[in-house]
Structure 1
C-alpha cells in the first residue's frame, strides 16, 4: 500500500511539517509540549539556519530549524535518522552559535544571555545513556547541574527524543508530548488520522503531511 503521509525523518518531510511559515502553529505546539508551563511560547520567528564561523577556516553549521521566541530565547531543532555517535558533541557545538550571536561587537553587554534550547529528534538511541526499560520512555532533558543534582544554570538545555524508545500504543497516549511522539514515530505508516489525534493541531499536521 502506498504511503499516504510524508516521512518526518526526511529533510523534506521534517521541514514541511515544522519548518515553514505556515507550520509555525505546529512547531509552537510541539515545543510547548517540551517546555515547562512558565516557558510556554506564543510567537516564533525563523532565523537563518546557516551559521558561519568567526573566520574563514572555522567550520560553519547548518541547522534544520533555528528560531527565536517572543522573549529572545533561541531554539535549534535537529532531526537525525541515521545513528551518529557524536550527536551529543554536535549539539554542544551547535549551541555555541546562539551564544556567540548574543555578544554583538560595539554593544554594551553584561554577559546576560537569553535561553538556548537544542532539541534533537532521533531515530536511534544513545548507546551510553540508558536507565532501563521502566525509566526510559525516550525523552532526555539535560541541564547544567551541580554535584548535588541542583540546576546551576537554567538557560541552556539539551532535549533529546529517542523515537525507538517510545513504546506507547494509541490507547495509552495521555499528554501532548505523548501524542507528538506517536505522530512523529508512526506518521509514515498511517493511512488515516487516529482517533486520539483528532485535535485541531494534529489535523493540521496531517494535512501538511499529505
Structure 2
C-alpha cells in the first residue's frame, strides 16, 4: 500500500475516486440528493434517486461511447447527469449537449408514443473558468429560450455550469445550502477541521465519508492512484500554461523588436530622402523597398 504524499485530512473531490465516493455510490446518495436540491431547486424537491448505468453506447455501431461521472433519475423519472470537468476542454459545451442526447433518446418507447419526455438536467462542476467577462458570475443556468420573447421555450432541458475558481465566499458568508455545497467542493481537500457553518446531518455524513484516515487499505490505494493522476494532469496543464505565457512574452518581445527596427528604418529613410540620397541607395541602406520609400 502506497500512502506517500497523502497528507490531507479529507478526500479531494476533484479526483475521480473522491467525486464518485461522495456522489456516485448508493450508500451516499443522500449527499447527491442534497446537492441537487440545493443547486437546482433550493428546496427539498427530490426525495430519492436511483443510479443508472453510467456507460452508454450510441444507437448506431459507429456512434461514440459516453461515460458519465454520475447518472441517476429521481422518483418522477427525471434524469440527472453530473460531471466534474477537471480541466478546460475546447468543446466542453458541445460535449454537454452531446451527453444530454443519451437520456433524451433512451426515453423513446416502442410502438405508439406521443413523444412526451421527462426533464433532463446536465450539471457541470468546472475546475476552470470559461467566461472571463465577469469575475463574479459563476453560476450559469441555461435553457432553450425564444430570442424574441426572451421566455423559456422548453423547460425540460437544463444545463448548469459552476465555474468553481470564481466561488470565493468565506465561511462567514455562507447563507444557503447552495453556498455551503460550493464551499465544500472548493475547499474540502484543504480543510484541517470541519467548519462551524457546516453543522447538519448531511454534512455529518459527508465529512465522515471524506475522512481519509477511515479509508480501508484498498480505498487508500485507489485514492492515491487517483490523486496521483490528478496531480500529474494538473502539473502538465500548469506547465503548458506557463510555457504558453513564456512563448507569448517572447513572441511579443520579438514582435516589438521587429516593429522598433522597422520604425527606425523608416525614420532613417525619411532623413536620407530629405538629403537627396537616391532611392535605390536608401533601399540598400535600410532594407525597405523602393515603393515604400517613395511613399514617405
Q: CA deviation at 1:75?
A: 0.2
Residue 110 of structure 1 corresponds to which residue in structure 2?
114
Counterparts of 2:41 and 2:22 in 1: how far apart (Å)?
23
TM-score, normalization by structure 1: 0.93
Counterparts of 1:69 and 1:77 in 2: how far apart (Å)?
13
**Number of equivalenced pairs:** 205
How far does the alpha carbon of each residue in 1:159-182 deviate from its partner, in whole angstroms, 9 at most, with x for none? 011110101111000011100000
Counterparts of 1:146 and 1:39 in 2: how far apart (Å)?
30
- Greater strand proportion: 1
- Greater helix proportion: 2
**Runs of 4+ displaced beyond 3 Å:** none
Change (3 A) 1:39 1:175: closer
Pairing 1:81–2:82 present: no
Matches within 5 A, 1:25-104: 25-36=30-41, 40-104=45-109
Question: Root-mean-square deviation (CA), in Å?
Answer: 1.5
**What SS does the corresponding residue of 1:71 show, helix, strand or coil?**
coil
Residue 12 of structure 1 corresponds to which residue in structure 2?
17
TM-score, normalization by structure 2: 0.67
Residue 168 of structure 1 corresponds to which residue in structure 2?
169
Change (3 A) 1:172 1:115: same
**Structure 1 unpaired stretches of 5+:** none
How far does the alpha carbon of each residue in 1:157-205 deviate from its partner, in whole angstroms, 9 at most, with x for none? 0001111010111100001110000000000001111000111111211
| Higher alpha-carbon Rg | 2
**Structure 2 unpaired stretches of 5+:** 1-5, 212-296
Q: CA deviation at 1:67?
A: 0.2
> Which of the pair has the greater relative contact order for Cα pairs under 8 Å at 6+ separation?
1
